[in-house]
Structure 1
Amino acid sequence: MNPARAILTALLALTPGVSFCFSLTELDLGEGCGVVDSTRDEVLKALAAATSVDPDITRKKVRLSDPALFEEPFLVLSCSKAPGALNYDEARNLHLYLAAGGTLFANDASGLRKSPFSLWLTRALEAALPDAVLKPAAREHPLFKSFFMSVAPGGRFDLEREPSAAEYGARYAVIFSRNDLLGVWPRDALGRYLYEPSPGGARQRREGEKLTLNIIIYALTGSYKQDAVHQPYIMQRLRELDAVPGARR
C-alpha cells in the first residue's frame, strides 16, 4: 500500500465521525471454503465498535475471474480442505490483485499443522508470487500493533505462535493463520460460542479476536503507525477535522 493510500485509509477507518464502509469479502474457491455467517457478523460488529468502519454485513464473494476482485482491498479465504488447483488465469489475477495492493487473509480451519489447505496455499503462492515465501511474521511488525497490542497466540487451535506472511512490495500481502482465527468468533442462536479454543480457553479466544482485527486494520492502513514521517500530516489532518462543524474525533 502506498503512503498516500495508507494515510487516507487510516484517517477514514480510525477517525470517529468519519464513515468508512467495509465488507468481509470472501475469495470464492468452492466447496470446503467459506466463512460462517455469525463469524462475519461478530467480526464486523467488533470492528465497528473499535473503529469508524461502517460494516456491510451482506455476504459478498468474488472469484478470481471476477473483475470485482480488484474493488476489494481485503479478501478472506477460510478453508478446511484444499481447493482445486489454480489455472493460469486465476494465478495471474491473484498476482495482479496482490501486486495492486490487495491483501489476502488465509485461515486454516482444519486444525492440522500440515494440512492439505496449507500445502495448497504454498503451491498457489509459488504460482502467483514466486518471489514471496510464507514465513513466520516478525513479532516487531506493525501487524501486531496496528490497533491492539497482540502478544500471545490466539485462535481456535494453538498450532503456531504467530501467523505466517508473504511479503510483497515491503508489506504483508498474504497473511496465513493455522490457528483458525475465525473459529473464535461464531455463536449459536442463543449467543453461545460454537467452539472452545484449546488449550487456552477464553484468553486464547480474546487473543484471536485481537489478532483478527489487527489483520484487517493492518490491511486497510498499512504501517502508518510506525512511519514517523506520516505522523505530522495525520495530526494536522485531525486538527482540520476538528475545525469542521459537526465533525467528531
Structure 2
Amino acid sequence: MDRRTFIKRVAGVTLGTCALGSASPAMGFGADSKIRIHVLTAGERPEGALSGAQVLATELRYRTSIDMVEQPLALGALDPRFSDQAFAVLTGSGSFSFSDQERQVIARWISLGGFLWIDNGGKEASSVAFDRSARRELAAMFPGQSLHRVSADHVLFRTFYRLDYPAGRAIHRPYVEGLSIGPRIAVVLNHNDLLGALAKAPDGSWASTPEPGGESQREMAMRFGVNLGMYALCQHYKDDQVHLDYLLHRRKWRIQPSENP
C-alpha cells in the first residue's frame, strides 16, 4: 500500500468526522468500516490499558459522533490487522524492544499516515525505562529525526477542546513530545499516563484517582484523549485540501483547567 491509498482509506472515515462533526462513513478501515483503537503490544502491558482505551473509544463516539468500535484490539505489529487502522497506542511502564521486522512494519505504517500515541504508564514518576525504550525504538525507525516538545499552541491542543496542557492520571510533565513527518506530528510521546486516568476496575469503578486534581483532572485527561483521536483522523485533512483551521473556526470556546501544573 502506498501513501495515496492509505490516505484514501483514511478519508473515507474522516471527511464526515472532521468537516461535519459527525461520522457516517461509506467506507473505512477493516471489515466493519469503523474506527478502532489498536493497543500495540510490546513486552508487558499495564493493567487497565485496554479498559482505558475502551473508555476513550466510548467518549470519542459520544462526544464527537465518530463511528467508533468501542472495544479496542490488542495486537502486535506483525498482526495483519495492525495496518488496518490509522490510530494506535503503545503504553507501558517497563523496558521493551521490537524486532527488526516489527520496526519496519511500524515505521512504514507511520510513514504512510499512521498516528502512534506512546503513553508512559509510570506511576510515581514517568518511567525512565519505558521512556528510554521508546526513544531508542523511534531512533532506530527514523534515524536522523528526533522528538521535540509540542507547543501548547499546536493544533493538537485545539482539535476539539481548547486545552493548555496534557492531563493524565498524573502530571509528571506539563507537555508532550512529538516526532514530525513533513508537516504532521506522526508520533506523540505522553508522560502522564493518560490511559491510567481512564482505566476501569473489574467492578466498573475507576481504577485510580488522578493526582493532584481528582475528577476535574480526569475530565481534562478525557478531553486531551479526544483531541488525540481527532488529530489522528483529521491530520489527513490537508491531503484532501481541507485544512484543520476549519475546526478551529467552528470551535471558539476555551477550556480552562481548574489547576495548571
How many angstroms does 1:137 deviate by? 0.9
Structure 2 partner of 1:75? 88
| CA RMSD, Structure 1 to Structure 2 (Å) | 2.8
Q: Quick check: 1:207 aligned with 2:220?
A: yes
Q: Deviations over 1:120-144 (max 9, x none)?
A: 0000001001132112112221111
Aligned length: 230
How many angstroms does 1:66 deviate by? 2.6
Q: Quick check: 1:132 aligned with 2:132?
A: no
Structure 1 partner of 2:100? 88
Distance in 2 between the 1:91 and 1:128 partners?
6
The one-letter amino acid paired with 1:176 is L
Q: Quick check: 1:103 aligned with 2:109?
A: no
Of the three residues 171, 183, 191, the one matched with 1:170 is: 183
**Can you give the 5+ residue segments of structure 2 that lack an aligned partner in the other structure?**
26-32, 248-261
Q: Percent identity?
A: 24
**Can you give the 5+ residue segments of structure 1 that lack an aligned partner in the other structure?**
236-249
Distance 1:9 1:193, change over 3 A: same
Distance 1:221 1:193, change over 3 A: same
Structure 1 partner of 2:251? none
Distance in 1 between the 2:131 and 2:234 partners?
27
Q: Deviations over 1:25-68 (max 9, x none)?
A: 11121324575343233212111111222221334133222332
Distance in 1 between the 2:115 and 2:206 partners?
28
Q: Judge conservation of contact 1:26–1:35 (CA < 8 Å) in 2.
A: no
How many angstroms does 1:82 deviate by? 1.4
Task: State which drifts further: 118-127 or 138-147.
Answer: 138-147
How many angstroms does 1:193 deviate by? 1.8
Of the three residues 7, 11, 16, the one matched with 1:12 is: 16
Structure 1 partner of 2:35? 22
The one-letter amino acid paired with 2:84 is E
Distance in 2 between the 1:186 and 1:42 partners?
7
The one-letter amino acid paired with 1:90 is E
TM-score by length of 2: 0.77
